[in-house]
Every structure is written in C-alpha cells, then in structure tokens.
C-alpha cells in the first residue's frame, strides 16, 4: 500500500498556480517596461544572447524541483508487512494473573516472569490468529485489545508486572467477563453468538487463588456465547512463600497479621472446574514452557474461521528518491543560463549555484531523515493528545470535588475514571511509538508520565531512570526526567533516592522552583520517617525490655512453683515413707500373729497326740 506519511505537506502544491501566475505577471511587466525604452523587437536585436525560452525552461525546472521537494518532505511510503483481506484463524484472549502470589519462586525466576516468557514464545508460533491481553488481580482491565499485531503484543506483555494493578487479590471471574465482552464487541449484529464466536478462546493463566467465587458462573455465560475457556495452573500445590522487597532492597517473605509466613498454593480444583465448564482443557505448568506447548496443540484442534483484517505493521520510507531527483534537476537548472551563447565567464556562477543546490538538498536530507521515525511521532502525537485530554478531565474532576453536592462528587469520580482510561490509551500509543526504536527518549518520557498518572510509580521510575542513562538528550529534558524520577520515588516513600534525583535535577537546572520545593518536602518526609523509625525502635526496645522483664518474672514464678512442687514432692515422699513403715509394721504384726497362731495350733496338736498315746497305754 502506498501512502504519504505527512499528507498535510501536499497542500503546499496549491502554490504552483500562484507561482505560474506570478511568473506570467513578472514577464508581462518586464515586457511593458522594455517597451517604454523603445520598440520591443528592436530591443531584442540589441541583446542577441538573451533567450526567453531558456528562462521559461528554467522556471519550469524550478517548479518541478518545488513539486518533487514537496513529495520528498511528505515522505512517500510503501507497506512492508501487509496482511490484507480475509484469513483463517482464531481469537485468543489471555487473562494473566498479576497478583502478588505470582511472585512466588516455585518456577524460575518466578511465576509471572515464567508465564510472560512462555507467552512470548507462544506468540512466535501463531499464524493468522489474533490475540489480546487482560491483566487482573483484585481488579481487571484490558491491557491489549484483540489484534494481529504480534510486535505490539510482545511489547505489552513485556511491560506487565505486579504493579500493573494496585488492588491486590485474585478476581478470575471479572477477568473472564471482561475478556469475553471485549471479544464479543467485534461480533456482527446479523450473526447469532454461536455462529460468530465459535473460534474465540479465553486462556486463564493463574495460580487459582480466587477470592471472589463467581468465576464458574461467568465461564458458563461465556460458553453460552460460544467462547471456550482454557486454564493454565501455574505454581505448586504444596505451597511456597511469597517474596517481598523491603525499602532497603532486602528480600523477605510476606507474613500475615499474626506474624506467620503466608504460603501460596495452586488451587487446581477451581481451574479444572472453570476449564470443564468452558469446554476447555486444564493444563498444569511444570516447566519453563508453562504448558503452552500443550495449549498450542489443543488450539490447533479448534476450527479456524475467516477473520477480516488488514495490517500494515511497518512502512518503508522512500523520501530519498525524490531528493535525488531534486539534486539532478538542480544541476540541470544550474547549467542552464538565460542566454543563447554560454561564455566561459558564465561558469563563475555555476560553482556558486551548485554549492547552493547541494546545500539545499543536504538540508532537505537532514529534515527528511527524521521521516524514519514518523510512525513513532504519529503515535507520540496521538498519545500526547490523549494525555492532555486526561489532564483536562482531572482538572474538571478536581473542581467538581471542591463542591459539596453528591451529584458533583459522582460526576467527579466518573471524570477521574475517564481520565484514567485516557491515560491507559496514551500509554498504549507511547508503547507503539517506542516499538521500533526502544531508545526514542520522548516516547519513553511521556510513557513514564502516563504511568505515573496511573499510579504505577515503580514502572514510571524505571523509565525515567532509563532516560537519564541516555546521552542523546538536551539538558532541559534530562532535568525534567530527574525531577519526575524524584516524584516517582517519593510516591514509593523512597525518600533518600528521591532526594538524590532532585539534587541531580538541580545540578542541571538550579533555578527550578518546583524541584527545590519537592526536595525540601522529601527531606521533611525523610526526617519524619527517620523519627518514626527511631520511635519504632524505641518502642521495640521498650517492648523487648518489657518482654524480658515479663520473662524474668515468669521465670521467677516458675522457679517458685518448682520449689513448691519440690517441697510437696518431699512431703509426699515422707508421707509415703511413713506409710511404708506403718505397712511394714502391720505386716510384721500380722506375720507374728500368724506365727503365734501356728505355734499354738502345733502345741494343741502335740498335746492331743500325747493324750491319745496315754489312753492306749493305759
């Protein structure tokens, strides 16, 4: 497809009729002036070297040079990567979990990064399919609408982080609902849902720790609209801790209110149920591919439908062709002279004219070299427009918020939500502006500003820090970048880093009052933070002392109880000894009684025997 990148420059061609009319007017006026000196044919014989035809030819050449130069500045382009018309494929909408539990390191380097890398590899395998991206945590939003622009998709996926959504949690149901509604907006009005949406697929990538139990019902509704839902469970079902970075950059593990380490576990049951309800497949991520190889095989089984799509993802610039034409036409025009006979003295003008022609072409070339980034500039201008619209909405919202009526407050909230939506769209345009030239600092700067407005301070700080490492930048922009870096760090309560950024900004622009104010504010906040930390340390020390004192008292009480127990045990032992002695005495007494009894019995028996013998003898 052929196009002019800067079509508005073509309006300069409207000057051609005016130049022709001016040329005719000047020629007629010259002829009239000559007639005041005498007969015009006679005067022509007095100047035999003069040639009106050469003058007219030179004028025509100059007009041609002007026309071709306008074409060069408009930058003619041809689409390099063109996919036009209908093609077969499916629509795949990814729902990526960006909650803090995705930072768990049971997959290397963590669950989220492993999922992102697998998605990027998966995109390289796609042919003719369209993809989109919804990120979710406690809330969900469309990061990338359904598109066939794989380069843009990779850019969006690469920038996803747990800071993409500030509200923590895992609301899978909202993500599926948003993905389904986004896909169905492309549905034709004269088609039934089942016929138009059979090639639409939602892929949920999550650890399944859903805190709002409506995902299955929403999946069922999406399936009724002809959308199949697949799930990829990422993580370990045994449970792993969640790493969290402290303000000092140290990595610790997240703890609950009671001080216990929080363990995140893969909820396979929910993801299996979602996949079953959505007529899809559940896949457990066990390696670096995160199950995408199996997913690709499953998607290959789905019948591919015709998709109407036209993409010109990249245009080649051909501004240099008209510039070469301008160069040669300038040389021809320079060699022509407005006389019939060319003398050697005429060549003294040639060098000057050629030099001026080369200078003109050189300046035009420098200007046109910027056409290589015209695509980026187009998206940059679009992003700026959206950004300024969002700023205006924020100002209107602030004015409404100052009023006390409830309706004004509701309208203020709506305008702020619209502003946030515009900031997100502006971020999309800035990302596209930076797609083919990752070092284009203007788009990076504006992207950082839009992310800052969205509350994504960590991502914004990373972009501003990247800008400061670039060399090809004016001092004013670098000072602003340091200023914005300080603001981003200040919002993260990284006061020392923000102070350093503000100081770097003031080194470049010492007269910036806003930076000076923010620097003093950061210093005050840092002093308050240090004071709070000292108070906290003192409280901790006092608490430790109190705990030690309580421990000591508790130990003393335990020792006293132990002493009492020892005395009781001693008394019991004495009692037991006494009881044992009494028992022994009783046993001895009984034994003695028994011996006495036995002796008496024996004596009685002996007397009886003796008595019987006497009777017999007698």
Structure tokens of 256? Answer: 């609950």
The whole-angstrom separation of Cα 521 and Cα 41 is 86
User: Mean of the per-residue pLDDT values for the chain?
Assistant: 77
Question: How far is residue 489's CA from residue 478's CA, in Å, rounded to a whole number?
Answer: 16
- 219 neighbors 277 (Cβ within 8 angstroms): yes
Same domain as 53, residue 163: no
Give me the domain span that covers residue 205.
86-312
C-alpha dihedral sign at 37, 43, 49, 55: positive
Q: What is the pLDDT of residue 343?
A: 44
Structure confidence at residue 554 (pLDDT): 82
Q: Are residues 299 and 181 part of one domain?
A: yes
Residue pLDDT, tens place only, 393-414:
888 888 877 776 666 677 778 8
Shared domain for 165 and 48, answered yes or no, is no
Residue 14 has pLDDT above 60, yes or no: yes
Residue 365, in any domain of the structure:
no
The string of pLDDT tens digits covering residues 306-356 is 665 544 445 667 778 888 888 888 887 777 655 544 443 444 444 445 455
Residues 60 and 95 in one domain: no
Query: Which of residues 361 and 75 earns the better pLDDT score?
Result: 75
Rounded (10°) angle between helices 374-401 and 441-453: 20
Q: What's the start-to-end Cα distance of the chain, in Å?
A: 162
pTM flag (> 0.75) = no
495-507 burial, b at 16+ Cβ within 10 Å, e below that, comes to: bebbbbbbebbbe
- Give residue 585's pLDDT: 81
Which comes out higher in pLDDT, residue 106 or 249?
106
Let me know whether 95 and 74 are in one domain: no
Helix (H) or strand (E) holding 327: helix 320-335
Query: In this structure, is residue 554 part of a structural domain?
Result: no
Q: Do 141 and 215 share a domain, yes or no?
A: yes
> For the residues 205-226, what does the mean pLDDT come to?
82
Segment 370-390, tens digit of pLDDT: 444 556 667 777 888 888 888
What is the count of structural domains for the chain? 3
Q: Which of 473, 503, 525 is the last residue of a domain?
A: 525
Q: What's residue 249's pLDDT? A: 67
Q: How far apart (Å, rounded) are the C-alpha atoms in residues 38 and 49?
A: 19
Same domain as 231, residue 96: yes
């Amino acid at each position: 497809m052929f196009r002019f990148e800067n079509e508005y420059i073509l309006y300069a061609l409207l000057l051609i009729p005016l130049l022709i009319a001016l040329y005719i007017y000047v020629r007629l006026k010259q002829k009239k002036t000559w007639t005041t000196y005498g007969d015009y044919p006679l005067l022509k014989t007095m100047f035999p070297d003069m040639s009106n035809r050469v003058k007219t030819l030179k004028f025509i050449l100059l007009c041609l040079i002007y026309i071709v130069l306008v074409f060069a500045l408009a930058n003619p382009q041809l689409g390099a990567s063109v996919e036009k018309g209908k093609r077969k494929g499916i629509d795949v909408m990814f729902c990526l979990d960006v909650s803090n539990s995705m930072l768990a390191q049971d997959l290397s380097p963590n669950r989220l990064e492993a999922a992102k890398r697998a998605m990027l590899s998966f995109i390289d395998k796609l042919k003719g399919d369209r993809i989109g991206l919804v990120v979710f945590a406690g809330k969900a939003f469309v990061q990338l609408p359904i598109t066939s622009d794989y380069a843009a998709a990779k850019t969006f996926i690469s920038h996803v982080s747990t800071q993409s959504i500030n509200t923590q949690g895992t609301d899978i149901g909202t993500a599926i609902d948003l993905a389904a509604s986004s896909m169905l907006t492309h549905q034709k009005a004269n088609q039934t849902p089942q016929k138009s949406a059979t090639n639409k697929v939602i892929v949920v990538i999550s650890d399944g720790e859903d805190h709002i139990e409506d995902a299955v019902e929403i999946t069922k509704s999406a399936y009724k609209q002809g959308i199949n839902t697949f799930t990829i469970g990422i993580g370990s079902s045994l449970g792993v801790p969640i790493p969290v970075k402290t303000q000092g950059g140290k990595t610790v593990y997240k703890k609950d209110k009671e001080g216990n380490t929080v363990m995140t576990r893969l909820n396979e049951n929910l993801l299996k149920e979602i996949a079953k309800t959505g007529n899809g497949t559940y896949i457990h991520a066990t390696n670096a591919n995160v199950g995408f190889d199996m997913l690709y095989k499953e998607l290959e089984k789905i019948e591919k439908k015709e998709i109407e799509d036209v993409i010109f993802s990249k245009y080649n610039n051909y501004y240099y062709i008209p510039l070469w034409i301008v160069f040669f036409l300038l040389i021809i025009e320079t060699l022509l002279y407005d006389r019939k006979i060319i003398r050697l003295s005429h060549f003294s003008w040639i060098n000057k004219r050629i030099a001026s022609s080369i200078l003109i072409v050189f300046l035009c070339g420098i200007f046109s070299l910027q056409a290589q980034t015209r695509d980026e500039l187009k998206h940059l201008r679009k992003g700026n427009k959206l950004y300024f619209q969002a700023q205006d909405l924020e100002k209107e919202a602030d004015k409404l918020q100052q009023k006390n009526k409830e309706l004004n407050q509701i309208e203020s909230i709506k305008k702020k939500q619209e502003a946030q939506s515009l900031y997100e769209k502006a971020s999309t345009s800035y990302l596209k502006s930076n797609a083919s030239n990752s070092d284009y600092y203007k788009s990076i700067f504006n992207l950082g500003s839009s992310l800052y407005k969205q509350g994504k301070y960590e991502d914004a700080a990373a972009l501003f820090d990247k800008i400061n490492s670039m060399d090809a930048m004016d001092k004013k922009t670098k000072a602003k970048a340091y200023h914005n870096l300080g603001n981003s760090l200040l919002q993260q309560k990284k006061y020392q880093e923000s102070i350093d950024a503000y100081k770097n900004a003031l080194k470049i622009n010492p007269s910036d009052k806003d930076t000076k104010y923010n620097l003093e504010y950061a210093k005050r906040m840092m002093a308050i933070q240090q004071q709070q930390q000292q108070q906290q340390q003192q409280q901790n020390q006092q608490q430790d002392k109190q705990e030690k004192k309580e421990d000591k008292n508790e130990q003393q009480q335990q020792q006293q109880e132990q002493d009492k127990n020892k005395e009781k045990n001693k008394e019991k032992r004495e009692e037991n000894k006494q009881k044992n002695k009494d028992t022994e005495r009783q046993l001895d007494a009984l034994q003695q009684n028994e011996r006495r009894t036995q002796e008496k019995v024996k004596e009685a028996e002996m007397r009886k025997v003796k008595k019987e013998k006497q009777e017999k003898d007698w």
